[in-house]
Amino acid sequence: MKHSIWVAALAPLAASPALALDCDAGFRAFTHLQGESCIPENPQRIVSLGSKNVTVPMIELGVMPVGSQGTLPDGGQPTIRASATSTGVDFGNSDIAFVGDNPVDLEAVAALNPDLIIWPDWQDEVSIDQLELIAPTITYFTDSTLHEAQEFYAALFGKGDALAANRARYDAQIAQLASLVPDDTSYAIIHGGSDGFWTCTPYGNLDLILQDAGLNPVTYPNNPAAGDCPTYSAEELQAFDADWVFTTYRTDRGQIPQDAIDAMEGAFPGFCDVLSACQQGRLIPIPREEITTPSYDAVGGAIFMLTTVLSNPFLQPE
């Protein structure tokens, strides 16, 4: 969170030639969260330490890692979070090796003989110094927006043309959504928790999509700063009433929409009676994976869903 003020500058910096660092032949300088590093000009054996926020956008841009962090559900097989639905690629149908969750297995990483490691800042059980002993390592700021993330990876892998096509598609999808939603439509995003209910500002790509399409977020109590995820008490729930209210659930953990509703009910029994959107059928549970992954494919699916729901004439606010 502390880097949010200056993270927007990362993508332009990464795309610009570095002047300070003198790299050996076959390497180039690349600017990232920890500064500047010499990395291979054309890396072939990349290990990703973040599934949905590193591996998925890599695959979307046509770059396949040799290893990836993944999620290990209870009693299940490891999965690349959000990848099966966003890219069609997972551990079971590819040659990508599973290198652990959090912390990752450094021996498994080293065994893949990587020439580049990408380390998201949430993966803090291992240090960049440890990883640098294995291969050149760059860090990725997990709270980057969709556009910042895609610019970062396009600069890293030289995929500017793919980025331009993906962004043009996003803009067209947003224009369609905006044309079908009434002006001055409001929304809120809430989740049930053990100590109350919570939200984040912003909440992944959901805020991005809705605001790009012209919807207005409600004003959350205490005006949380960008990057904060405060918890609220039942007395503050009324402030979250809006034309549309969204909550999310994790499909990678086997959750279903009812789990999101149950979490809210557990945090505030009878919560639906307080929210007119809930009483009128406009509390919408959506899968968290597609709405928080820095992938234009995932976001495209989310926009299609939102377009379908928000333009439904039978669900319009009274």
Q: Establish if 2 belongs to a structural domain.
A: no
pLDDT of 20: 63
Same-domain check for residues 134 and 170: no
Last residue of a domain, one of 141, 158, 175: 158
Same-domain check for residues 203 and 116: no
pLDDT of 124: 82
| CATH at residue 24 | 3.40.50.1980
Long-range contacts of 9-15 (CB under 8 A, 24+ apart): 10/141, 10/144, 10/148, 10/152, 11/148, 11/151, 11/152, 11/155, 12/151, 14/151, 14/152, 14/155, 14/156, 15/151, 15/154, 15/155
Domains in the chain: how many in total?
2
Same-domain check for residues 126 and 216: no
Q: Which domain holds residue 70?
A: 7-158
Same-domain check for residues 169 and 308: yes
Same-domain check for residues 50 and 98: yes
Same-domain check for residues 34 and 150: yes
pLDDT of 181: 96
Mean pLDDT by groups of 10 residues along the chain of 318 residues: 32 45 91 88 96 94 96 84 92 96 94 96 87 94 89 94 95 98 95 90 92 96 89 93 96 90 94 95 92 92 95 91
Last residue of a domain, one of 142, 158, 174: 158
pLDDT of 17: 45
User: Shortest CA distance to 144 belongs to which of 33, 282, 299, 288?
Assistant: 33
Q: Establish if 92 belongs to a structural domain.
A: yes
pLDDT of 182: 92
Last residue of a domain, one of 158, 180, 202: 158
